[in-house]
Amino acid sequence: MWKHAASILFCFIFILPPAWAQENGIPLIRAKVNAINSQLTAYQIKNKEVEGLSVEGGKLKFFYDRKELKKIHAVMYGEMGYSTEDAYFDRNQLIFIYSVTNHYDKPSGIVARREENRYYFRNGKMLLWINPARQHITNSTPAFREEENQLLRLIDQYIEISHTTFRCVDVSNNTIAACS
């Protein structure tokens, strides 16, 4: 009997993900992100160069499955580094952002430090933030709410830009044309 109980306890502690992760759907979000990334070449791609969102401009790339937005890849340049954000969508709802900030050693120098953040979303709210120290930050901190608000505003800006005229790339035949 004790062996059976110990086996069950082992599974709950070491094999199964934490209950909060299961309840909040983190494994499902990860699966959806992996599925989106595996289909990138099948999506229609819309490219946009932008100014005003960063010191030295940036580029946005929107991935669509028909008319449904699946991913935004953003690169923003600055004097002391550059950042990338990959925002993922399921049924046009934000589900995940992977953000990388690269800091230069001097203005327009080489990358000296890299910071990664991961953000999980459901129903327009951030569920979990994994910071560069790989700490799990939950909604009980003011920093969490501030980060959530900044990210949602940024994604809203990107989506607003997505409604402008683009250069579209048709991956199947490598052509570039104007599209809306």
Question: How many Cβ atoms from other residues are within 10 Å of residue 152's Cβ?
Answer: 16
Joined tokens for residue 79 = 């004097």
168, part of any domain? yes
Half-sphere exposure at residue 77, Cβ-oriented, CA atoms within 13 angstroms: 11
Whether residue 33 is contained in a domain is answered as yes
Asked whether residue 73 is assigned to any structural domain, the reply reads: yes
Provide the residue range defining the domain that includes 32: 24-179
Q: Is the pTM of this model over 0.85?
A: no
Domain-embedded: residue 134? yes
Please answer whether residues 62 and 72 qualify as being in contact, where contact means their C-beta atoms are separated by less than 8 angstroms. yes
Domain membership flag for residue 9:
no
Q: Is residue 170 part of a domain?
A: yes
Q: Is residue 114 part of a domain?
A: yes
CA 137 to chain CA centroid, nearest Å: 16
**Total residue length of the chain:** 180
pLDDT per residue, tens digit, the chain (180 aa), is 444 444 443 344 333 444 444 456 999 999 999 999 999 999 999 999 887 666 567 899 999 999 999 999 999 988 888 999 999 999 999 999 999 999 988 887 888 899 999 999 999 999 999 999 999 998 888 999 999 999 999 999 999 988 875 455 555 555 555 454
Number of domains comprising the chain: 1
Please report whether residue 149 resides in a domain: yes
Sheet bearing 136-137, strands edge to edge:
136-137, 125-130, 111-122, 93-104, 81-90, 68-78, 58-65, 44-50, 166-170, 175-179
Can you count the helices (H) and strands (E) in the chain?
A: 4, 10
Both tokens of 1, joined, read: 């009997």
